Amino acid sequence: GENVEQHPSTLSVQEGDSAVIKCTYSDSASNYFPWYKQELGKRPQLIIDIRSNVGEKKDQRIAVTLNKTAKHFSLHITETQPEDSAVYFCAASRYSSASKIIFGSGTRLSIRP
Amino acid sequence: DAMVIQNPRYQVTQFGKPVTLSCSQTLNHNVMYWYQQKSSQAPKLLFHYYDKDFNNEADTPDNFQSRRPNTSFCFLDIRSPGLGDAAMYLCATSRDRANRGPHTDTQYFGPGTRLTVL
């Protein structure tokens, strides 16, 4: 069945440095790739998403890149801050009335002061 | 203002005693989802409603049922909770603006209901 692999499972970076989280998906028909941030004890919240007709999208310190040929997409956070500490989930889905969403297993990001 | 509201925030039930969790939304979104999330894991989709159409995931146990009486409200019924059903239950909504299907636009999550089974 469809699968999304996410790496690394934990990531610790120095405040101010960049963080990169990578995901690989198996369903070549996937069109939509959201990233959700979940702080401890809180709800997941969308931080950025990308669709298959775009290779890169940026929103301030956050960017996502998509390589459809290789079937992988990555989250880039620059100039990390303590409030970036959270669990990040990638996901993939396709445009279909029978669409499924497949989540990655999550990355726990810690920002060291 | 809260957009996706879940009640209660914490629910304690006894093994085998039915429980109902509720979700309401003020976003007028046509899709509503129920997820189960256990500690340190990704949310696991149980089912979703696309308008009035109910869509069950293949691996969702029969013990879990859902109702959506109107656009704004959706309920999760657990008929006979087991110890393994203790988890955070998240409701989410989205609007399928471009008729692409469910899961193809931003999902707005509620704060969750933490279920404890004694």
Q: Indicate if the pLDDT at residue B1 is higher than 70.
A: no
Q: CB–CB of A105 and B42 under 8 A?
A: yes
Q: Tell which B residues from 67 to 106 touch A, by Cβ distance under 8 Å.
A: 90, 100-106
Q: How does DSSP assign A61-112, residue by residue?
A: TEEEEEETTTTEEEEEE-S--GGG-EEEEEEEE-SSTT--EEE---EEEEEE
User: Out of A42, A98, A103, whose CB is closest to B43?
Assistant: A103
Q: Which two tokens stand for residue B47?
A: 């089912």
**Residue of A75, A72, A71 lying closest to A86 (CA atoms):** A75
- How far is Cα A49 from Cα B56, in angstroms, rounded to an integer? 25
pLDDT, mean of residues B40-54: 94
Name the pLDDT band for A100 (thresholds 50, 70, 90).
Answer: confident
Which of A74-78, A84-88, A96-100, A107-111 is least confident?
A: A96-100
Evaluate whether A79 touches A16 at the Cβ level (below 8 Å). yes
Residues from chain A contacting residue B102 (CB–CB below 8 Å):
97, 99, 101
To the nearest whole angstrom, how far is the Cα of B71 from the nearest Cα of chain A?
19
